[in-house]
Amino acid sequence: MKNTNKTFSYEDKTVVVTGANRGLGLGCVAELLNLGFRVVACARNPTSIKSDLEAQKISTKNLITQKLDVASEESLKSFEVFLKSEIKTCHVLINNAGIYVDDPKGGALSTSGADFLKTMMTNVYGPYRMSQIVLPLMKSQKFGRIVNVSSGMGQLSEMGAGYPAYRISKTAVNSLSKNLGVETHGTNILVNSVCPGWVKTDMGGKGAQREIPEGVKSILWAALLADDGPTGGYFRDGKSMSW
């Protein structure tokens, strides 16, 4: 992936990635390390991240791993202290952590309240709070990119039945990107949602249409936007989508 933005030097930038221990998250971390970023890879269980990357022959000299549960306020507060005291900066945040726990055979009447709340806490509250944590740093350095990993299942323009918790959570993620995009307008902070497509991950399953590198490329397009890039939008493969 070529850097075409002359004002965006990879080597002096720090990226925080949530849900970084597998699938799209781990794929993003690998590509970002290859580009020369310092990467803070976060997950509820981050112990295998370093070894999994090294097995792929990825240099981990710029890797920092950190335990983080984005659905836990205690964990989020602990991460905030760590980020501001130890790392002291964040140029890019990729809100990738997400869950999908809906009953695949049912709809709104069969999805439990507990599963709905659990989904919203991870998929919406997590990105919201992580954005709150990094935005003061981004504003002070007058640079920031926030990428919220979304899904076509959350598009209002194509909303279907079933999977209400997951669908509604991703619609809310798109709304969050729009809201923050407007709030940060003119500050050189760009906030966007990205649908990576149906990817062959643990969540997407083996029947998915896309390989992990394709989804990663779609996400990193938004993470590496030039200063004149879009904000508050919803994209797939760098193309704007209705939602």
Any idea which residues carry the catalytic annotation? 166
3-state secondary structure of 189: strand
At CA 204, angle to CA 199 and CA 209, rounded to 5? 40
**Token pair 């083996």 in the structure block, residue:** 206
Residues 6+ apart with CB under 8 A from 190: 144, 145, 146, 181, 184, 222, 225, 229, 230, 231
3-state secondary structure of 65: strand
Contact 93, 41 (CB under 8 A): no
Q: Count of CB atoms within 10 A of residue 14's CB?
A: 21
Q: With 0-12 CB in 10 A as exposed, 13-18 as middle and 19+ as buried, what is 102? A: buried
DSSP H helices, the chain, are: 23-35, 49-55, 73-82, 113-120, 126-141, 164-183, 212-223
**The token pair that represents 181 in the structure block:** 């995009």
